[in-house]
Chains A and B, each alone.
Chain A
Amino acid sequence: MTEIILSVEDMEKTYVGGVHAVRGVSFEVKEGDSLAIIGSSGSGKSTVLRCINRLIEPTKGVVRLKGEKINTPAADINEVRSRIGMVFQSFELFSHLRVIDNVSLGLIHVRGMGREEARSEARKVLERVDMLDRVDAYPGNLSGGQKQRVAIARALAMKPEVMLFDEPTSALDPELIGSVLETIQGLAEEGMTMVVVTHEIGFARDVADRVIYMDQGLIAEDGPSSIIDEPKTERMREFLSSIND
């Protein structure tokens, strides 16, 4: 039986100011699985991801990583985060550092590696995302797709147990999306456990083992990727048709 890597139980989040963004969300991700979360803008997808690695604290609920409760003061938050890779919609590369240093920063300062060791490790990861030829470039001189692949490499370098992608392609020009999706797909095929928030319905259908449709802070539909082709709720149907146009 495959191990459950990540589980979320009855998560709720109310923001300062009273927005009840997530109203009780539960799901589990097994080792090697990839979960796609879809849903219209403002439905709370990002909030769920950010609560998982505690960039924000959930108001209620339990998040477990390999069965260990991580949203308690007891958990070493920095250690927990280093076990969860996160890729942002807007890349968030460190613009003052070269590509290679972006990737090796965490290895040096979190994993305590020496500079050279970290760099050679970083090169390996950059090779996986096909960015080896631009190791000395600054992020500002990269295209969006390249940036996102470097961001993926930065997260991958920490050897995370699970990767979270928050709309990794939404900020990209259409012709650049492909390479990033390919990279993510490659990771999924290598057996990386991942949660992907995405608007790329085709990608969700082809790659995800399971799809969750979120609406107004709740899970409206949950099932294998086939549910995309046979939505049960009116909302999801509307959502899908609005995207396909």
Chain B
Amino acid sequence: MVTEASTERFMGWPKRKDLIATLAIVALFVSISGASAQEVRSGWAMVDSGTESDLLTAEFHEGEFWAFGTGGIMISSIDGGGTWSESGISVNQDLTSSDSNFGSMAVSGNDGTILFMRDGVWTDVSTSLFGDITDIALTGNSSFVVIQQDEIWTCEISEDGSADWNSASSQGEIDYFSISFLDSDNGLVSGEKGAIMASTDGGASWEYRDAPSEVSATGIIDIEYHSSIRAYAISDEGHILKSSREGNVPVGFVWSIVEIEREYPPGGGSEFEVGGSTLDSDVSNIDVIGQFKLLLSGSSGYLAISLDGGNIVSQQMIPLSNETSFNGFAMQDGFRGIAIGENGSILRTENAGSEEFVGFEVIDFNDFGQFVDYSKERLMDGLVATAKIVIFGIIMGFSLGIILSMLKTSPTTLKNVAQTNRFQILLVFIVTPIWVLMQIPISVVKATGLAKRWNLDNPLNGVMGYCKERSLQIAASEPLNVIAIRVIGVALLAFGIHRIFSNLDDISALNLDGWEHIYSPIGAPSAVFWILFGVGMAVLGTIFLSCNGDFSIRELSLGRSNISLNPWGIRPLNTIATVYTDIFRNTPLLVQFMFIHFGFELGRRLQDPGMMLFDFDYLEGNSNFITDIFVVYETNPESLAYGRPIGGILEDRAYISAIFALGLNSGAYQCETIRGAIAAIPSGQMEAGRSIGLNYMQSMRLVVMPQAVRICIPPLGNEMVNLVLNSSLAMIIGYAEITRQGKLIVATTFQVFWTWGMVLISYFLITWTLALFLRYLEEKTRIPGLGISGGA
């Protein structure tokens, strides 16, 4: 004879083997990770400048690159920086700064050296007015402004080549470092002690602008007036300053320090340093080549680019020794140009110096292997994202389903409501809600383990017990108070009617005609709510008003037909749950997703209060795996972004909305499934439970539910598989689950068949695993000797 236990084991084994096999496949799938080597090549190429002199400044002028440096070295290239030769005119002084604009070019240097070039003709307009000139900027094809120590001068070159110098009105007393003009009128000057000044009249007069207080003690060593909406500057401590036009306030008035989030080392990669407000390297020069595209240069071989106005700065690889100091750039456009530095170094680029990732560029999306290699990471990300909303959606849907099905099967009728006495009312409307409100933080605190020391108990436990006792006593000793019920009825009726009429105005204010009124719940949500609420209250009030102590069914004869009315049999909890399930089951999930996320903005509404609840300061040091579900903070002590949320439900609004859309919808369906299962349990089970003295909730919990849950495992399993498949709709609200990842992969690879096929396989793996697990669960929880299962 085969014993029961051995039969079970015999039947259980193949199922478990299935499960193990599935888990193994999933594990394999998860463990495949891409780590192919990539070769990184510098975006800068070294060119032969033909000189050993330090190059200090460079320009791109009328199709030619020019570079200037110590000892009056002056070289140019007519082939985009490839080959260089000496040209121009010869001087012996160091050439330190230059500008090219309005079809002219000006170069300045030590000992008052100023060289001016127009239409290919160089003129030496050096003057003995100055010592070493700090910087020069053109304000027209024959006019420029120079700065020297604490002086600013404008100069006009007349037809015959003579120069007309004028000292600009300026406050003086500080040394100026850099000058830059946008056009012939508007210019900026920077200097020591955080000084920034602006001119709107071609340099004749200057006014101070407010630089951020953080740089008030530092020198602003380079400034560039890039466009009418953007100017940048850098300080000698490595701050990047930025000014934008704000409304009618032009560029130059308001300056802010760019928050440097990350600094990437040369060669890219994923490791970075968090920058704070200053760059780690010694930066001496900034070149703005786009509203947000900056090139930076400095000593120790520092060349860097930022594509977002300085938030993320990536140092670039150079094909030179790291000792080389770079002194500036000359850019032909946003991509092509040169960087110049000491010992005659010239580097040339065609892509703004960005590194080339050799491994990446040659992916052949027509090769399935390479295609999979490229897309698997995205798919895995999507898989994880899908799993996350599915898991929380299932938890939420199931809890909601249980609660709703309990409401739907609850036997509480209006008769019971009318029979409640004052202590029950106190219990239901005041004591229990407060108890629950107090219980929630107590449970949270208990769950997070913040207060292991004290034994927290709800202080209202005693009050609850007393109310229960008193309400029983009253039910025993006092007859039904019909007068009181009628008074409440009148009050409810009056309240309901008042609610209806006081909100009708809001509806008529919508100016809707006829059938358009079906949309009024969206036009005036609160008014419609109050009117419906008022109607409900009025009906309730009327029923209460009709109370005469007899709760039986009324027969109403209407002509030939008899209608039986059973108003006292109305079950209010059931009604509420039915309204909920009807709404969610009679509208498409896709629209629910969009309404919840874009319309109602549930994600946004929950994010902020949630973040306040799980505030970083509060969690600091006390975060654990439960709080991590809600929000995870970055905790790098060196980082300025200390306490920035980097994970958890609250981090992503679409994530929050997706969980709720799936959970709320699934709850409505699961409610019906569970209710069906409860209904399938013979009423005798409830009676048997109650006959041994269990109360309604105990019988439900200990007798009916355990059996109902077993019955509903297969249909609930279907429901959960549905939930997984429905989760693909979350792509519509921008949540990066598998389907959305599939779309992104198609957008880059154009491999439609492969991509969607792989997405299908991913879904199949999830749902199949889930289905196997549910099958296993069903087998595990099967009640021996009950039902036909084809098994033991």
Contact = CB atoms under 8 A, between A and B. Distances in A.
Nearest to B480: A73
B6 to A, nearest CB: 15
Given A106-B693, A110-B694, A140-B784, A74 B475 contact: yes
Interface stretch (B334-342, B641-649, B679-687): B679-687
A95 B702 contact: no
Interface string B429-472: 00000000000000000000000000000000000000000001
A109 interface: yes
Given A88-B684, A96-B783, A140-B785, A110 B475 contact: no
A142 B783 CA distance: 13
The 5 A-B pairs at the shortest CB distance, nearest first, are namely A140-B785, A74-B476, A82-B693, A92-B688, A106-B692
- Which of A84, A88, A96 lies at the interface centre, i.e. has the most chain B CB atoms within 10 A of its CB? A96
A86 B785 contact: no
B783 A95 contact: yes
14 contacts: A72-B476, A76-B472, A78-B690, A78-B695, A81-B690, A81-B693, A86-B688, A88-B688, A94-B688, A94-B707, A96-B707, A96-B783, A106-B692, A140-B785
A50 B707 CA distance: 24
B411 to A, nearest CB: 12
A130 to B, nearest CB: 20
B699 to A, nearest CB: 10
A109 B684 contact: no
A141 B476 contact: no
Given A74-B476, A155-B692, A141 B785 contact: yes
Contacts of B688: 86, 88, 92-94, 151, 154
B693 A79 contact: yes
A187 to B, nearest CB: 17
A84 B684 CA distance: 16
A193 interface: no
Given A74-B473, A75-B476, A138-B784, A92 B687 contact: yes
B530 to A, nearest CB: 35
A185 interface: no
Given A73-B475, A76-B472, A158-B693, 9 more contacts: A55-B687, A55-B690, A55-B691, A86-B688, A88-B687, A92-B688, A138-B784, A140-B786, A154-B692
Nearest to B710: A96
Given A74-B475, A74-B476, A96-B707, A155 B784 contact: no
Which bucket holds chain A's interface residue count? 35 or more
A168 interface: no
- Which of A79, A109, A110 lies at the interface centre, i.e. has the most chain B CB atoms within 10 A of its CB? A109
B553 interface: yes
A139 B783 CA distance: 9
Contacts of B703: 94, 105
B102 to A, nearest CB: 91
B706 interface: yes
B692 A158 contact: yes
B694 A141 contact: no
B477 interface: yes
B684 A90 contact: yes
A81 B688 CA distance: 10
A110 B783 contact: no
A73 B692 contact: no
Nearest to B787: A140
A153 to B, nearest CB: 11
Contact of B691 (A75, A81, A96, A140): A81
Nearest to A154: B692
A53 interface: yes
Given A16-B553, A74-B475, A82 B785 contact: no
Interface in B462-499: 472-473, 475-477
Contacts of A50: 687
Contacts of A72: 476
B707 A82 contact: no
A236 B472 CA distance: 44
B633 to A, nearest CB: 44
Contacts of B702: 94, 105, 109
Interface in A93-119: 93-96, 105-106, 109-110
Interface in A126-175: 138-142, 151, 154-155, 158
B213 interface: no
A110 B785 CA distance: 28
A28 B553 CA distance: 32
Contact of B698 (A53, A90, A109): A109
Contacts of A88: 684, 687-688, 691
A106 B694 contact: yes
Contacts of B693: 78-79, 81-82, 106, 110, 158
Nearest to B785: A140
B4 interface: yes
A95 B419 contact: no
Contacts of B698: 109
B706 A96 contact: yes
Nearest to A107: B692
A82 B695 CA distance: 10
B691 A155 contact: yes
A155 B687 CA distance: 13
Interface string A49-61: 0100101000000
Interface string A1-29: 00000000000000010000000000000
Contacts of A158: 692-693
A21 B624 CA distance: 63
A94 B473 CA distance: 33
- Which of B419, B473, B698 lies at the interface centre, i.e. has the most chain A CB atoms within 10 A of its CB? B698
B792 to A, nearest CB: 10
Given A73-B475, A74-B473, A105-B702, A86 B784 contact: no
Interface string B559-575: 00000000000000000
A140 B783 CA distance: 8
A94 B692 CA distance: 12
Nearest to A72: B476
Nearest to B687: A55
Given A78-B693, A110-B692, A158-B693, A138 B472 contact: no
A73 B707 CA distance: 31
A174 B169 CA distance: 123
Interface in B2-54: 4
Contacts of B473: 74
Nearest to B701: A109
Nearest to B421: A73
A74 to B, nearest CB: 2
Nearest to A93: B688
B512 to A, nearest CB: 43
A173 B475 CA distance: 46
- Which of B477, B553, B692 lies at the interface centre, i.e. has the most chain A CB atoms within 10 A of its CB? B692
Given A81-B690, A109-B698, A155-B691, A94 B685 contact: yes
Interface string B684-725: 110111111111001000110011001000000000000000
A53 B691 contact: yes
Interface in A64-78: 72-76, 78
B783 A92 contact: no
A92 B695 contact: no
A76 B690 CA distance: 12
A96 B689 CA distance: 13
A88 B685 CA distance: 10
